[in-house]
Structure 1
Amino acid sequence: MSPRRFDAERLLLARREEGLKQSDVARVVGVSAARVSAWETGRSVPDPEKLPRLAEAVGRELDVLFPREGRPDLADLRADAGYSQVATRELTQTRTQGPVAAAENGQRRLAKEYEQRLADAYRVSVAVLRRAQERSFGHDVPEPDETVATDVPPSEVTMLPETIAGKITYLLEQLPTPLSDAQVAALGNSRGRTQLLTEELVRGLRTGAVVDASDEALAVLAEALDTTPLFFSSGDPGVQRVIAETLVLRNQVAAIAARGGEEEGLSTELLAFINKEVSKASAEAVALRDHPSSEETS
């Protein structure tokens, strides 16, 4: 979790610069003037969901007055939208805040039916919500527009999620258009010419309700999500790193193509070279897995 940094002195100075009384700020935030006084003197700290209204009350941008270092998780998105955890019951239309609390605590992922409702309330996309959810589960997933520094050693490149549910969520976020569980199942069965996937199985694997499946089913799932079966079946750190870096490269290439490159986008020759190198690397990874060298087996 990367909560925003509250600074009592900065709040006090911002209020005075705007010529506001503590009661003026209290009225906007919905608290007493005594509570604002306690915040400004450092006797207490406001709840995270109070910070957006507090910044608004003193005429400051939220990111400027209360900056955050790092990427937000689910609790951070909720707080930035001004919701307490209890208030999310109305968003999910459930009797308790259990679904949101479980996801924020990294215990159980949100049901798909809640994702769009929460994303709309938090004023973010479903993809952003899903990335924040992965961070609540301990996976520091980067944003698509973030680049990896060239001087970062390969071993420090962001790794893939460890669970099948996390991997599925990660892959879904890479797709140009969102796919439902039913669409994923149908697409995989069509490409694999089989009927191994069902909407219920895909949903169970995506939400973590089902933690494992046969190698055949995972291979069909990989087909649906445009990746290699090794994405799900291999636990080798080296293989996982290669796949992670390949996915980053694919997204960067897609971004360049979307911008049109320098003038007319990526050339046919460059695309062919990239595809050739990716295919060659994948073949070498499979060969290494199936036929390890004598040094590795000795």
Structure 2
Amino acid sequence: MRAIRRAAEIPQSDVAAAAGVADSTYSGWETGTAVPDPEKLPTLAGVLGRELNDLFPRNGLPDLTDLRCDAGLYQYETAKLIGTKSAGPVAGAERGERRLKDRYVPLLATAYGVSEDELRQAQERSIAKAQGEEGEPAVTESASATGAPPGTLAEKITLILDRSYPGHQGPPSDAEIADAVNAHAGAHVISEAGVRDLRTGAAETAPPIVLEGLAAFFAVSPLYFQPDDAVARQVYEGLRLLSAAKKGSVGRVRARGAGAQGLSANVMAIVNDLVTELEQRAPDSNE
């Protein structure tokens, strides 16, 4: 800030006055002995003639608190915006404790200078952040490395939107996603509101054609959007087979056969062929 202010030949007192603080306070910001409230950053960027994201770049996409601060608003000021006695609804949403009521969304979106869809996406990030702080499996590089995928359909969609669309363009809107899914299906199978319900968790499941369209649009395997229990069951059965093979009791797996909780008929056919081959090669071996 000091280098930019000096290059623009702006007196320190002018910036302090615009930010509504004492000269000594602003001086502390420049020397690094103190930091400004995030709500002050838009004003500072404006006075110094820089874009907010250029002067104070953010790491990652914004959550609800970020959007409010980017608008230069303190939390207490939002009560007037949404017509409530206190800022409790906004405070709760920023802490990730509860979602905003639908009637508050357009009011805050207008005040923050963003679309309603952008506000809802930021709200999901606030919720995800709160879950991570409370010990829930947050989506991090280390979690991905250990094979801990997102669980719900909403978490899977949010993960892609948060991690696959860096830069100023940002992720696609719910309407854009709906249009792409409908184009893939060749029919109207989901609406903008339907996508939003999936993304926010209001709807927990979707028809197969919608999941296929989502996978095609996001360029991921259709398996990514399948229920976790189905994937886990196949992994579990695979581990049972490997364990049985090592113990010389593969036949027990074959005898168990296919069922509601077992392998599919096609997979069981492969297992049976493998068992037969193993028995022919070493009928008396337990290796």
TM-score, normalised via structure 1 length: 0.53
Change in Cα spacing, 1:42 to 1:252, as seen in structure 2 (3 Å) is: same
Per-residue CA shift, 1:186-225, capped at 9, x if unaligned? Answer: xxxxx9xxxxxxxxxx99x9687xxxxxxxx966xx35x9
The equivalent of 1:5 in structure 2 is none
**1:119 has 2:94 as partner:** no
The higher relative CO (CA closer than 8 Å, separation ≥ 6) is in 1
Within a 5 Å distance, the mapping from 1:124-135 to structure 2 comes to 124-135=114-125
Choose from 64, 74, 84 the match for 1:74: 64
Residue number among 36, 41, 44 corresponding to 1:51 in the alignment: 41
Q: 1:252 to 1:206 in 2, by over 3 A?
A: closer
CA pair 130-28 structure 1, distance change in 2 beyond 3 A: same
How far 1:116 sits from its partner (Å)?
1.2
Whether the aligned pair in 2 keeps the contact of 1:174 and 1:251 (CA below 8 Å) is: no
Aligned-pair distance for 1:108?
0.7
Letter in 2 for 1:250: F
Report Cα offsets for 1:247-270 as digits up to 9, x if no partner: 3532469xxxxxxxxxxxxxxxxx
Amino acid in structure 2 at the alignment position of 1:247: L
Q: Which has the larger radius of gyration?
A: 2
SS of match in other structure, 2:81 = helix
Summarize the Cα distance change of 1:64–1:27 in structure 2 as closer, same or farther, 3 Å threshold.
same
- 8 Å Cα contact 2:154/2:204 also seen in 1: no
Q: Could you say which residue in structure 2 is the equivalent of 1:106? A: 96
Mark the CA change 1:286 to 1:157 in structure 2 (over 3 Å): closer, same or farther.
Answer: closer
2:23 to 19, 27, 33: 33
User: Separation in 1 of the partners of 2:55 and 2:231?
Assistant: 54
CA shift in 2, pair 1:293/1:158, >3 Å = closer
User: For the Cα contact (< 8 Å) 1:74–1:132, is it kept in 2?
Assistant: yes
Aligned partners of 2:96 and 2:129 also within 8 Å: no
Distance (Å, rounded) in 2 between the aligned partners of 1:29 and 1:18: 17
Structure-1 separation of matches of 2:21 and 2:215: 46
The answer as to whether partners of 1:139 and 1:161 remain within 8 angstroms in 2 is no
Identity across aligned pairs (percent)? Answer: 41
Q: 1:178-193 counterparts in 2 under 5 A?
A: none
Does 2:80 match 1:90? yes
Alignment RMSD: 4.7
- Give how far 1:30 is off: 2.3
How many residues are treated as equivalent by the alignment?
204
What are the equivalent positions in structure 2 for 1:81-230 lying under 5 Å apart? 81-138=71-128, 160=150, 162=152, 174-176=174-176, 222-223=206-207, 227=210
Give the aligned residue type for 2:83: Q
Residue 13 (structure 1) shift: 1.1
Give the secondary structure class of the aligned counterpart of 1:51: helix
Contact 1:109–1:207 (CA<8 Å) still a contact in 2?
Answer: no
SS across alignment from 2:42: helix
- Structure 2: gaps of 5 or more residues: 131-143, 162-171, 179-188, 190-195, 242-252, 254-287
Change in CA separation of 1:287 and 1:59 when aligned onto 2, cut-off 3 Å: closer
